[in-house]
Amino acid sequence: MLFLHEFEKIEAEAFLTLAADLIEEDGIVTASEDELLDEYAAALGVIGFTYDAAAVAAARDTMAQLNEVSKRKVYMELYSFALSDGIETPEERRALNELADALSLDSGICKQLEACAEDLFSVYDEIEEVLGAEPSPVLVTNEMPVSDSPEA
């Protein structure tokens, strides 16, 4: 997905900062997450983007200044980053909830945006299947990984 075509450079960099922060939430950055970030940077025209954890608060503030439609686009796009490694972790959910609060987005709208993103990924998968292409690296699931450690 990429619904952020109207972003100026500062907004694009803020978005990429939040995306990089989100994919680092679970402590593991996969190759598919890294590739997705690079694809977004290229599509947004940001050359040589590097993640700066100290810039996250300023990035949230920048996104909070957007109009309502753009805020919703940001949330939906960042939700796709949470799914890019195949699962949504509790850390990513916490970060998404914090983002929704920072953007003053209602939880009902967020759930609708998440459902739209999941539906869109399903359509992408169907298109790739019909084309005979490799499946999308994004697997939509809300299941939590099962821990191998015994419960106390």
Per the structure block, which two tokens stand in for 101?
């609060």
Is residue 92 exposed (0-12), middle (13-18) or buried (19+ Cβ within 10 Å)?
buried
Contact 15, 59 (CB under 8 A): yes
The CATH superfamily assigned to 9-131 is TerB-like (1.10.3680.10)
d(CA 12, CA 43): 10
Q: What is the pLDDT of residues 99-112, one digit of tens each?
A: 999 999 999 999 99
d(CA 101, CA 61): 11
Q: What is the pLDDT of residues 51-83, one digit of tens each?
A: 999 999 999 999 999 999 999 999 999 998 888
Cα 5–chain centre separation: 16
Category of 48 on φ-ψ map: left (φ > 0), alpha (ψ -120 to 50) or beta: left
DSSP single-letter state for residue 152: -
Q: What is the pLDDT of residues 116-150, one digit of tens each?
A: 988 887 887 788 888 886 655 555 444 444 444 44
Task: Indicate the pTM of the whole model.
Answer: 0.80
